[in-house]
Structures are given as C-alpha cells and as structure tokens.
Amino acid sequence: MGRFDRYLAGNVLGATVGVLAVLVGLDALSSVIDELDDLSPDYGFTDALIYVAFTLPRRLHEYVPFAALIGALVGLGRLAATSELTVVRAAGRSLPQLALGTLRPALLLAVLGFLVGEFVSPVAEQFAVSHKALAQGSQSSFTGRGGVWNRDGDTFIHVSAVERGGIIHGVQLLTFDEERRLTRSLRAERGTYQGGQWLLEKVSRTELTQDRAVTDALIQQVWETEVTPQLLALEAVALDSLPTLELWPYAQYLRKQGLMYRDVELAFWRKVLQPFAVAGLVLVAMSFIFGPLREGSLGARIFTGVIIGVVFRISQDFFGPASLIFGLPAILAAAAPIGVCWIAGGWLLTRDN
C-alpha cells in the first residue's frame, strides 16, 4: 500500500468511525429516553443505563453500513474539496485504484463490526435482557409480560428471564391435548439446567380435567425436554445480535416445531451479506465524488447520502416483511436492496468516466 493509499484510507476510516460514534450515541440516547417509561421502584435509572450500555455492541453492528456510506462521502469529500483527488487522477491514478483504496477501510470496519456482532453482541445483549427482566420484578412473582416463548411438542413454554450458565426464572409450562384443550399448567420460580435436564424449584402444578382442577405444590421437579439453555438464550435476544453460525440451525429447529422461522433466515442472510451491503453503499458514495453527481457542495452531498441511507434501510425493512407475507426466499429479500446499490453505484461511476 502506497503513501497516498494510506492517506486515503486514514481519511475514510477516520470519518467513518466518527459517523459511527455519532449514530450509535444518538441511538443510545434515544433508547435511554424510551427506557424512562419503564422506570419503577425495582427498575431504576441506573438499571436503564446498564441495559442500554450492554446493547451498544448490537447497535454498533447495525449502523456499520450506514456509517460506511456517510464516512466515505465525508472522507472523499474533504479530499475533493482541496483538489487532492484531482491531482492524483492527473498523476495517473485510475478510478478502480481509488475505488479499491476507498473500499479497504470500509471493509476493514465491516469485518470488525462482524466480529463484534459474532462474539461480543450476543453475550452483551443476553446480559442486558436478563438484567432488565430480573430488575423489573421480584423473582417470586414473574408475569407473562415480555420474556421468552418456546414450544416442545404439545407444551408451550414461557420464561421471564434467561441467565448465562443455564439458569432461568419465572417458568410457565402450558400443555394441550390433541383437541387443543389445556390439560396441565405448571409454574416454577426458577430452573437450573443439569445433566441434560432442567431442575425446577418452587413448583405449582395444576392438572385439568373436564370437571375439576387439581393443584399441588412441589419443592423441586425434573423437567425433561429438548429445550436447552442455548435455545432459550436465542429466543431472549434480538435476532440481529445472534451469532451467524447459530441462526441457521435455530431456523431449522423452529421449522421442525411448526413455528415462525423465516424471520430468522432473513436475519441470517442479512448478516452474511452485510459486507456486500457496505461495499455497495461505498460505491454509491463514490458516485457523488467521481460520477455525474459530483456537482454541488459537500453539505448537499452528505444530505443526499443520508437520504440514500434512509431509503436503503427502509427498503430492507420493506422487503423483509414482504418476503414473509408472500413466501419469497429470505436470501432474495436480503440481497435485493444490496443489488440495487451495486448496480446504481457501478453505473453512476462509469457513466462519465
């Protein structure tokens, strides 16, 4: 890598990191304000700050493509404003070489964001969700609000909070017969995963028949099920914060249980294709500097870039639900907005060059 390539990469990377910090900071501030509605004697302002702080890795991973777009616009725009890019082009540096030099720092940030999404975000997000759930109510009286739902055959499972290490709180099991009538209800304050099975504590069990209901209380009860702590942890956190290698098996598990799984497949393909999204948005940003859109002030370019980023995000949010409704392949919904960016960016770059 030559001296100018390092200089170009430093400008683009510095601008992208700055934009990413601003975006994540504003999103975190907005989340803190939203959390004020949930404050209670048990869930205080400090708990809200802890919750938002541990969701920052997920937010960082989500905003990497948008930050790459604006960062490339700002970094290249500075060089264009001082005519440095013009001098370099006159010296014989080709457009593909400049494109490669711009893509390197963006893809580096995309890789770092991917690593954060794979190894940091899942752990931090699970801690944030469990901390909030435990703080919002006493462990002896969990309600059905929030929490995790799952299914094991004819039994529907609700867990209020999932901790690392195979510990769950506020367990409720609802068992139905073939005619979808409730036959058994079980509540437990706490469950611990040991030796391939769950040990439930402080259990209240109700057996329902056609003419009566029988309730008894147990100190402990063994619960044998295929539902593992890993599956419950996957349900507890946002799909965007789950590791890529766990999303696809999780989708197939949900499919076997007859549950909604296409949204998990969509999250899988979005994470896999995120580096291509970053590259596509950077190509669009370069068209504002080297293509027919290069006329205008830097502020106007950045404003237009923000609009493009918003449209890109809206298109992702549109094609995702549309694929679920119309049964389209999840990979098509994830790839369509990215493909439009690549086609538009490439066409604009080559139009006047």
> By C-alpha distance, which of 161, 181, 178, 180 is closest to 169?
161
3-state secondary structure of 169: strand
Question: What integer pLDDT is reported at residue 138 of this predicted model?
Answer: 46
Do residues 234 and 317 share a domain? no
Do residues 170 and 90 share a domain? no
Length of the chain: 353
Q: Measured between alpha carbons, how far is 17 from 22 in angstroms, rounded to an integer?
A: 9
Do residues 223 and 347 share a domain? no
Residue 249 inside a domain? The answer is no
Residue 279 inside a domain? The answer is yes
Do residues 184 and 72 share a domain? no
Q: Give CA 234 to chain center in angstroms.
A: 12
Question: What integer pLDDT is reported at residue 322 of this predicted model?
Answer: 82
* Domain carrying residue 8: 3-135+273-351
Fill in the amino acid letter for 73: L
pLDDT < 50: residue spans in the chain:
138-144
Of the residues 185, 211, 238, which one is the last residue of a structural domain?
238
Report the sign of the C-alpha dihedral through residues 274, 280, 284, 289, in that order: positive
Of the residues 215, 238, 261, which one is the last residue of a structural domain?
238
Q: Are strands 213-223 and 167-176 parallel, antiparallel or unpaired?
A: unpaired
Fill in the amino acid letter for 57: P
Question: What integer pLDDT is reported at residue 40 of this predicted model?
Answer: 87
Do residues 194 and 218 share a domain? yes
Q: Which residue has the tokens 């599956």?
A: 231
Number of domains the chain contains = 2
Beta bridge partners of 191: 168, 200
CB 264 within 8 A of CB 249: no
Residue 251 inside a domain? The answer is no
Do residues 310 and 336 share a domain? yes
Residue 245 inside a domain? The answer is no
Of the residues 211, 238, 265, which one is the last residue of a structural domain?
238
User: How does 84-112 read in b/e, with b if 16+ C-beta sit within 10 Å?
Assistant: bbeebeeeebeeebbbebbbbbbbebbee
> By C-alpha distance, which of 89, 102, 135 is closest to 353?
89
Residue 10 inside a domain? The answer is yes
Residue 82 inside a domain? The answer is yes
Do residues 73 and 191 share a domain? no
Question: What integer pLDDT is reported at residue 174 of this predicted model?
Answer: 95
As given in the structure block, the two tokens for residue 90 are 């006159």
As given in the structure block, the two tokens for residue 25 are 């900071």
Secondary structure element (H or E) that encloses residue 84, with its range: helix 84-90
Q: Are strands 167-176 and 197-208 parallel, antiparallel or unpaired?
A: unpaired
Do residues 61 and 121 share a domain? yes
As given in the structure block, the two tokens for residue 156 are 């529907």
Do residues 152 and 225 share a domain? yes
Query: Around Cβ 314, how many Cβ atoms within 10 Å?
Result: 11
Do residues 280 and 343 share a domain? yes
Question: What integer pLDDT is reported at residue 325 of this predicted model?
Answer: 82
As given in the structure block, the two tokens for residue 189 are 């304050």
Question: What integer pLDDT is reported at residue 141 of this predicted model?
Answer: 44
Residue 115 inside a domain? The answer is yes
Query: Around Cβ 29, how many Cβ atoms within 10 Å?
Result: 11
Do residues 54 and 163 share a domain? no
As given in the structure block, the two tokens for residue 71 are 């960062």
Do residues 113 and 9 share a domain? yes
- pTM of structure: 0.83
Residue 258 inside a domain? The answer is no
Question: What integer pLDDT is reported at residue 142 of this predicted model?
Answer: 45
CB 21 within 8 A of CB 59: no
Question: What integer pLDDT is reported at residue 293 of this predicted model?
Answer: 55
